[in-house]
Every structure is written in C-alpha cells, then in structure tokens.
C-alpha cells in the first residue's frame, strides 16, 4: 500500500491504454512476499476497488512467475483475452499488475495466462474476495466494506476464547443443515436464512461456539469444502461476503464464537484453480512424492516457497481481519507434518536429517500460529492431528507447533469402541475406557464427535449404541454426559444432538422430522442441559487443560462397570462428582466415598423423564455418613439409574 503518497504522485501513468500502469507495492512488500513473511498479501494481490487520477476502477495483481503474458478478461470485455494485458514488474518477482478504469463492482473475470512452454491457461484469481456461483468458475470484482456491530463481543472475546473458558462447539455443514428442498441438492438457503435460524438454534442449544466446515469457495459439493479454490472468499452458494459478515455479526451478538475450518494442506486439480497455475508447479511441490496426495487425489502446497507461505498465512489472517472470526480449525495437519503420510517405502524421501518430518511444513505451521497469536491473542487455533506428534498444542518457544488445541482422536476412537460393546462385556474394557487420562495432559485436547464419524458406512451415533431402542438412547445420553464432563473442549457434529437415525448426507438435510418423537427430543434436551451445565459449572472448565481439574474417585467396581470421577475448578467448594453406570442394571443404595464436602445434591441425571429416561431413579436427598471426620472422608448413599450418568455437587 502506498503510505508515503500515491503512486501517481511519483510515476507517469499512461491513461491512453485499456490497462493503466499502476502498483500498490512499495518498500519491503515484494521482499517479504518472497521470504514468506508478507501476511497482508490480500491487500496487495487480487482485485481492488480504487480511484486513480479521479477515475474509479479496479487494480489487479497476480503472481505468475513463469508467464510470458497475462491479461484480465471477463463479461466486461466480452471475454476477450487480448485487450486488457497486465504489466509485468521488472524486479523478477513474477508479479503482473495494472489498473482497469471504469470497471464495475460485481464483474466476472479470469486471468488469461501464456505459461511455461507455450501453454495457454484461464485461471480464477487466487486472491479473489468473491466468485461466481458454481458450476461457473470466474472470480468477481468486489469490495469488503461492512459496518460491524460486534464491538461488545470483540472487546470481551478473550473471556470466551481463552483456554480456561467453557468450550462446546456445534460443527455445521451449512448446505445440509437445512435446505429449501431436502430432495434437491441444488437448493441452498442463504447466509441471511442461517442468520435467522441457525444462530437462534445454536443459542437455544447452549453451545459456546459454532464451527463451520469450509465455507471458502470450492468447486465440488462432494468435497464438503475441503478441496478449495478460493482461499480469500466465502462461497457464493449462500450469498455475498457482506451477508457472511452479517452472519458472523449475528453469532457474536448472541455471545457465540465462530470457528472456520481451514485447509492449508492440499487443493484440487480443477482447471481454474491453483494447480499448474502458470503452466508449472507454482503453488504445489514439483516432486510428486511431496506434491501429490494419494488419499484425496489432490495437490500439496509447496511450503518451501516463500510466496506460497505468504499466500497461506495471509489467507488465515484475512479471515481474522476481515471477518472477525474467533478461531481456525486446521484440517489434515498429520498429512502436512509427515513425508510418509499414506505413503509406502519408495514413495517418499527422508528429510535432510533422515527423518519423516516435512521440515518446511513444520516451519510454516509454527510461523502461522506465532503470527495469528501475535496479532490476535484473543482467538484459538485448533489442529486436526491424529498421530503421536509431540507438542502440537505447546508454544513454539517450548519447541511445540504452537496450536491452542488439538483434536483428541484417541479419546474418540476409544470412547466409541467402548460404547459400541454390549454392556455385559464393558467390565473387561475398563482400562480402555480410562486410558484417555493417561495421556490427557500431553496436549490441550478438544474431544470431537465430528462429521467423519457419521459418514461412509460408519453409521449414525445412535446406531453405534448397543441394545434395544430404549437402551440405544440411554447409552447415547450416557456417552454425551461422559463427553461433557471429561476435561477438554467438546465438539459435536450437527444431527448428533438429536440422535439422527441415518448417516450424514451432504446432498440432503438433517432429519428434523425426528423431533416429533419424544425419544429424539429427549436426547436433544439432554445435550442442551449438558451444554448449559458446562457453562454454569466452573469445575468443568477452569482447569480443563491441567492436572488440577480431574481425579478418579472410584475405579474399583469394574465388575459392575460403575466409575466415578471428580472435576475441580479453582474453588474447591464448587467441585462436582460424576458417576457413570455403564450397564442396564439399576443400582440402589450405591456407596461412594468422597473427600472434602459433607453436603451433596444431584444437579443432573441422564435418566430424567424429560430426556426420555424412566425418571424413576434419582437422588432428591443424598444420605451422607462420616467415615473419617478428621481427614474429611464421607460416604454417600446414592441411586444409579440403568445406563445412566449422575452428577453431584
């Protein structure tokens, strides 16, 4: 950006040509871009509404280092590829730029590139703020002006996003949350619709945050957004960038944080996208042992290249700066870190130290997190990382990767494996169930029951549970009770909260019709009660990422599959005790030894009639017997419902 004065104050501009010579670059912009340290590329590249010499229009800049000719063509010039040729910078940066006068907002455009070895390519703008609605593939000129109304949230959001705040996240795929016609995958609601309906739903359910599966522009619905083309644009499927800003604003007004899924790991090979951008491997590694992703038939960013690093970190910063988001969940971190990810011997080459780590990707991730937390100390970054890579959520100054949190995939696998079993066999699997607390303190963990667990033949959550219909629902409520009282953040995919009976289908919508049944309404009421309990009880979140927040109270009744643990906040008087009965046997007059407090009451029971439980096994008055008054030990006499969780305070 020209800060010392305008470009035209120092340079002659030839206004006789269709494209005027103009530049927004100055000072160290180019050097930083090449070094991977320009984190405001979105303000320099792409298309920008400007006024030059009293004439309004759009400035364009694109990086195409192996091009011999680049033009802008679109509906404004009848898609003529020759008229509006950009100027190449003479500093060997590979940047092409220029100003097109009188160009209106909303014009569709692409870059026509004469690339390596004479290839002719038509590409969308990697830095575009807005795109045509798919299947069309052009970018659109746009401006990101918006009057934000979330100052109250922004001033105080550190309180909501810090690590000792309650975290319950509702994961949403916008298109299939609700559709105008559930039988028509081409029908979409708008950002404005979600502002009216999704915001109030998340608020009513008591979740603290919403996580949107990738809303960055992407060509193919079946990728769910994880194979993107527009790293700086919310998808036009649901409306304009401003309408998306309005949705974020509405969440903030209701005190709900917004997390975006972000995919810096790979991108698709669509002709208009980043792949072979100027006829060579511009954005991806040229060595396909590093540059091609066998699992997803996609291409991997070249983290060694400074320009690519600047592009990616600028993308992340763009969403924080322009869209006021509260966090990013970084997808597929495991695949970025490991050179041998999904590769066998001979398909990968060790790094310079002989190891399997992608050193450039590791450096990129550390820079990403350092930059985000430097400029936005009141947000979070969350890693989807499934290996035993050390220090994912440790600070970079402790040689960690610098994320705020990491998805706890081991907890998810162990928990689902445990709950899938017939309760008669759970007595033999207590070690598996309690294993999560052995490695819990290694990272700041978020517990995910995500979209990945209810697709592709994995069955919906409800049908992972054993037993008859009543037992399936009881087991599901029991598992959610365990999840919400286990240390760490929580993430629940849409539809899980009311016990969907079919796998998630991105082409349709959630099974809202199930809510006519008491059983499904009951499990939703249970999740709502748990989400509100999480926010109301500091013992559940104040020490959720350290060893002071949890202790086992009773693991000595494996044969009965009853387990109890204490959750502790900063004030011992607010401690709570959770008792889980993992079998369909009602246990009356169960004796539990606890230390510290003499008086206890039941504050939650997953068998409550309003949750579609039987409602007949509960604890209105808990009898307490002194075991050792001096040491403060007491024996509680409680009643445990079948397949039930009881929470005492």
H-run or E-run covering 140: strand 139-140
Residue linked to tokens 């299947």: 135
- The answer to whether the beta carbons of residues 329 and 211 sit under 8 Å apart is yes
Query: Under 8 Å CB-to-CB from 581, ≥6 apart: which residues?
Result: 478, 560, 561, 562, 587, 640, 641, 642, 643, 644, 645, 646
Cα distance between residue 551 and residue 564, in whole Å? 9
- Say if strands 327-330 and 380-383 run parallel, antiparallel, or are unpaired: parallel
Tell me which residue of 448, 445, 462 sits closest to 493, measured CA to CA. 448
For the chain, report the end-to-end CA distance as a whole number of angstroms: 58
Coil, strand or helix at 330: strand
In what order do the strands lie in the sheet containing 633-640? 587-595, 633-640, 623-628
Cα distance between residue 304 and residue 364, in whole Å? 8
- The answer to whether the beta carbons of residues 253 and 260 sit under 8 Å apart is no
Tokens of 344: 């066998």
Per the annotation, the verdict on 422 as an active-site residue is: no
Strand partners, 47: 60
- The answer to whether the beta carbons of residues 122 and 133 sit under 8 Å apart is no
DSSP line for 291-315: HEETTTTEEEB-TTSHHHHHHHHHH
H-run or E-run covering 469: helix 469-485
Coil, strand or helix at 125: coil
Residue linked to tokens 């980043």: 274
Tokens of 322: 């322009």
Cα distance between residue 398 and residue 617, in whole Å? 49
Say which of 307, 384, 497, 608 is annotated catalytic.
Answer: 384
- The answer to whether the beta carbons of residues 48 and 24 sit under 8 Å apart is yes
Q: Given phi > 0 = left and psi -120 to 50 = alpha, else beta, which region is 518?
A: alpha
Say which of 29, 307, 326, 331 is annotated catalytic.
Answer: 331
- The answer to whether the beta carbons of residues 163 and 545 sit under 8 Å apart is yes
Tokens of 215: 């809303």
Give the number of residues written for the chain.
Answer: 649
Per the annotation, the verdict on 384 as an active-site residue is: yes
Cα distance between residue 253 and residue 251, in whole Å? 5
Which residues are known catalytic residues?
A: 331, 384
């Amino acid at each position: 950006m020209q800060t010392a004065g305008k470009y035209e104050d120092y340079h002659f501009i030839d206004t006789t040509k269709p494209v005027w010579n103009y530049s927004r670059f100055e000072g160290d912009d180019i050097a930083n871009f090449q070094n991977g340290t320009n984190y405001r590329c979105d303000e320099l590249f792409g298309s920008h509404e400007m006024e030059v010499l009293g004439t309004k229009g759009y400035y364009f800049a694109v990086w195409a280092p192996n091009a011999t000719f680049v033009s802008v063509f679109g509906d404004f010039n009848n898609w003529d590829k020759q008229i509006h040729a950009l100027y190449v910078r003479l500093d060997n940066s590979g940047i092409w730029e220029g100003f097109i006068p009188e160009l209106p907002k909303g014009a569709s455009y692409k870059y026509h590139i004469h690339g390596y070895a004479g290839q002719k390519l038509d590409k969308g703008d990697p830095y575009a703020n807005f795109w045509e609605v798919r299947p069309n593939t052009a970018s659109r000129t746009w401006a990101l002006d918006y009057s934000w109304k979330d100052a109250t949230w922004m001033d105080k959001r550190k309180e909501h996003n810090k690590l000792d705040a309650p975290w319950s996240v509702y994961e949403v795929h916008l298109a299939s949350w609700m559709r105008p016609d559930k039988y028509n995958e081409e029908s979409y609601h708008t950002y404005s619709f979600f502002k009216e309906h999704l915001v109030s739903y998340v608020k009513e359910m008591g979740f603290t945050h919403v996580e949107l599966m990738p809303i960055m522009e992407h060509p193919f619905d079946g990728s769910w957004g994880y194979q993107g083309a527009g790293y700086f644009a919310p998808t036009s499927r649901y409306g304009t960038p401003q309408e998306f800003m309005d949705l974020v604003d509405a969440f903030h007004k209701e005190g709900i944080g917004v997390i975006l899924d972000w995919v810096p790991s790979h991108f698709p090979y669509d002709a208009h996208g980043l792949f072979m951008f100027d006829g060579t491997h511009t954005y991806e590694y040229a060595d396909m042992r590093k540059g091609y992703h066998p699992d997803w038939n996609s291409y991997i960013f070249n983290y060694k290249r400074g320009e690519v690093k600047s592009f990616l970190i600028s993308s992340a910063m763009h969403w924080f700066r322009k869209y006021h988001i509260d966090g990013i969940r970084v997808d597929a971190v495991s695949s970025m870190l490991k050179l041998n990810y999904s590769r066998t011997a001979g398909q990968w080459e060790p790094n310079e130290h002989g190891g399997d780590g992608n050193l450039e990707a590791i450096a990129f991730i550390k820079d990403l997190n350092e930059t985000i937390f430097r400029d936005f100390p009141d947000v979070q970054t969350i890693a989807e990382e499934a290996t035993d890579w050390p220090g994912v959520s440790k600070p970079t100054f402790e040689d960690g990767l610098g994320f705020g949190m990491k998805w706890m995939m081991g907890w998810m696998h162990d928990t689902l494996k445990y709950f899938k079993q017939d309760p008669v066999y759970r007595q033999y699997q207590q070690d598996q169930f309690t294993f999560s607390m052995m490695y819990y303190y290694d990272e700041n963990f978020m517990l995910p029951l995500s979209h990945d667990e209810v697709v592709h033949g994995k069955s919906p959550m409800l049908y992972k549970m054993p037993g008859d219909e009543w037992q399936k629902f009881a087991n599901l409520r029991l598992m959610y009770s365990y999840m919400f009282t286990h240390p760490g953040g929580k993430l629940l995919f849409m539809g899980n909260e009311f016990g969907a009976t079919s796998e998630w289908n991105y082409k349709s919508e959630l099974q809202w019709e199930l809510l006519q049944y008491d059983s499904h309404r009951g499990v939703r009421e249970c999740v709502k009660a748990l989400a509100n309990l999480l926010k109301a009880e500091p013992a559940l979140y104040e020490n959720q990422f350290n060893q002071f927040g949890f202790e086992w109270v009773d693991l000595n009744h494996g044969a009965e599959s009853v387990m109890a643990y204490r959750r502790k906040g900063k004030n011992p008087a607010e401690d709570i005790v959770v008792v889980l009965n993992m079998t369909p046997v009602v246990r009356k007059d169960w004796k539990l030894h606890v230390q510290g407090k003499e008086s206890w009451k039941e504050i939650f029971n997953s068998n409550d009639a309003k949750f579609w439980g039987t409602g007949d096994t509960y604890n209105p008055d808990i009898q307490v017997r002194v075991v050792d008054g001096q040491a403060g030990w007491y024996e509680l006499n409680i009643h445990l419902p079948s397949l039930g969780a009881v929470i005492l305070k």
